[in-house]
Amino acid sequence: MAKKQQNAISPTRGQDYPEWYQQVVRAADLAENSPARGCMVIKPWGWAIWENMQRILDRRFKETGHVNAYFPLFIPMSFLEKEAEHVEGFAKECAVVTHHRLEPNPEGGLVPAGPLEEPLIVRPTSETIIGAMYAKWVQSYRDLPIKINQWANVVRWEMRPRVFLRTAEFLWQEGHTVHATAEEAMEETRMMLDVYADFAANVMAVPVIKGEKTPDERFPGAVSTFTIEAMMQDHKALQAGTSHFLGQNFSKAQEIKFLNADGQETFGWTTSWGVSTRLIGALIMTHSDDDGLILPPRLAPKHVVILPIYRNDEEQARVLEYARKLADEIQSQRFADERIEVELDDRDMRGGEKNWFHIKRGVPIRLEVGPRDVEGDAVFMGRRDLSPKEKTSMKRPEFVASVGSILEEIQKTLLERATSFRDAATTKVDSLKELEEYFAPVKEGFEGGFAYGHWADDPAVTETLKKMKLTVRCIPLDGDEEPGQCLITGKPSAKRVIYAKAY
Helices (H), 165-241: 182-202
Rounded distance between C-alpha atoms, residue 140 and residue 370, angstroms = 69
140 binds a second copy (CB under 8 A): no
Residue 147: how many other CB atoms lie within 10 Å: 18
Q: Peptide bond preceding 119: is omega within 30 degrees of 0, i.e. cis?
A: no
> What residues from 168 to 187 belong to the interface with a second copy (CB under 8 A)?
168-169, 171
Q: Binding a second copy by CB under 8 A: which of 18, 84, 100, 387? A: 100
51 binds a second copy (CB under 8 A): yes
> What residues from 212 to 251 belong to the interface with a second copy (CB under 8 A)?
none
Residue 397: how many other CB atoms lie within 10 Å: 11
35 binds a second copy (CB under 8 A): yes
By three-state DSSP, how is residue 499 classified?
strand
> What residues from 4 to 33 belong to the interface with a second copy (CB under 8 A)?
32
Q: 81 vs 377, which CB is nearer to a second copy?
A: 81
40 binds a second copy (CB under 8 A): yes
Q: Binding a second copy by CB under 8 A: which of 57, 121, 144, 295? A: 121
Q: How many residues bind a second copy (CB under 8 A)?
A: 63
392 binds a second copy (CB under 8 A): no
Of 4-12, 110-118, 392-400, 437-445, the segment contacting a second copy by CB under 8 A is 110-118
* 247-279 b/e (C-beta count within 10 Å ≥ 16 → b): bbbbbebbebbbeeeeeeebbbbbbbbbbbbbb
153 binds a second copy (CB under 8 A): yes
Rounded distance between C-alpha atoms, residue 279 and residue 12, angstroms = 22
Q: 154 vs 418, which CB is nearer to a second copy?
A: 154
Rounded distance between C-alpha atoms, residue 271 and residue 138, angstroms = 15
Q: Peptide bond preceding 11: is omega within 30 degrees of 0, i.e. cis?
A: yes
106 binds a second copy (CB under 8 A): no
Q: Binding a second copy by CB under 8 A: which of 59, 99, 334, 466? A: 99
CB 44 within 8 A of CB 343: no
Q: Binding a second copy by CB under 8 A: which of 9, 24, 133, 180? A: 133
56 binds a second copy (CB under 8 A): no
Rounded distance between C-alpha atoms, residue 435 and residue 461, angstroms = 13
Rounded distance between C-alpha atoms, residue 406 and residue 365, angstroms = 9
Spatial CA neighbour of 8 closest among 291, 383, 258: 291
87 binds a second copy (CB under 8 A): yes
160 binds a second copy (CB under 8 A): no
Q: 233 vs 270, which CB is nearer to a second copy?
A: 270
334 binds a second copy (CB under 8 A): no
* 150-171 b/e (C-beta count within 10 Å ≥ 16 → b): bebebbbbbeebbbbbbbbbbb
363 binds a second copy (CB under 8 A): no
Q: 122 vs 472, which CB is nearer to a second copy?
A: 122
Q: 130 vs 451, which CB is nearer to a second copy?
A: 130
Residue partners of 433: CB distance under 8 A and separation at least 6: none
Query: Contact residues for a second copy (CB under 8 A)?
Result: 32, 34-36, 39-44, 46-48, 50-51, 67-81, 87, 91-103, 109-110, 112, 114, 119-122, 129, 132-133, 148, 152-153, 155, 157, 168-169, 171
